[in-house]
A and B are shown apart, each in its own frame.
Chain A
Amino acid sequence: GAVVSQHPSRVICKSGTSVKIECRSLDFQATTMFWYRQFPKKSLMLMATSNEGSKATYEQGVEKDKFLINHASLTLSTLTVTSAHPEDSSFYICSAITWDRREYGYTFGSGTRLTVV
């Protein structure tokens, strides 16, 4: 089935630095990628939707200059957390829409645990 590979799985960075998270679709073309953030013991909150070759659409309250999303190819979308602060510490997950034998669905990356110290 369709696989989304997300890296890194864990990252610890210092306050003020930037961190890039990558999501690659391994055996399909992901024209649309969703980026979610999950707080401890909480649900997933949609941050933004990225479409290949165009600007990402951010949800209300999400700072687009802080969470930079690039979807330059059909197999790669990246989320860069710029000037990270401890409050950005969270679990970030990407998801892509898939069509598998005319079946519609969503596949998720394995997530990235970001800790800002």
Chain B
Amino acid sequence: AQSVAQPEDQVNVAEGNPLTVKCTYSVSGNPYLFWYVQYPNRGLQFLLKYITGDNLVKGSYGFEAEFNKSQTSFHLKKPSALVSDSALYFCAVRQGYGGSQGNLIFGKGTKLSVKP
């Protein structure tokens, strides 16, 4: 069964410093991987995804993620953190494979706190 793991409950970063939010996955077949951000009492906003192609994926708001097949990881990164990046971040993998239109399976979430 597909699963994702986010090993950190919280990541603290100073504004202007680079940030990394970790994600590892377990899938059968080729993974469809996603990152979403959630602000309090709001839905999820899409940041980026990897389905195929270049391992380095660039997304919204300056975020990027690198798909690493050998390490089964898909860490989210940003070169310079902003206070406004403080939120809850979810890594997700699509359930199913091939042509199936499966739901997303989410990691437990990582709270990012960026201090001025």
Binding site for B on A (CB under 8 A): 6, 9-10, 32, 34, 41-44, 46, 49, 91, 93, 95, 97, 104-111, 113
Contact with A along B81-113 (1 / 0, CB 8 A): 000000000100000000001011111110000
How many Å lie between the Cα of A49 and that of B36 in the bound state?
20
Contact status A104-B44, CB under 8 Å: no
Taking CB atoms, residues of chain B closer than 8 Å to A42 are 108-109
How many Å lie between the Cα of A91 and that of B105 in the bound state?
17
Query: Is B43 among interface residues, defined by CB-CB distance under 8 A?
Result: yes
Taking CB atoms, residues of chain A closer than 8 Å to B51 are 104
The count of A-to-B residue pairs whose CB atoms sit within 8 angstroms is 47
Interface residue tally of chain B, by bracket? 20 to 34
Name the residue on B nearest A99 (C-beta): B101
Pairs across A and B, CB under 8 Å, 29 listed:
A9-B41, A10-B41, A32-B101, A34-B103, A34-B104, A41-B109, A42-B109, A43-B108, A44-B44, A44-B90, A46-B103, A46-B105, A49-B103, A91-B41, A93-B44, A95-B104, A97-B101, A104-B32, A105-B34, A105-B46, A105-B49, A106-B104, A108-B36, A108-B43, A108-B44, A109-B43, A110-B42, A110-B43, A113-B41
How far apart are B12's CB and chain A's nearest CB, in angstroms?
16
Taking CB atoms, residues of chain A closer than 8 Å to B32 are 104
Name the residue on B nearest A49 (C-beta): B103
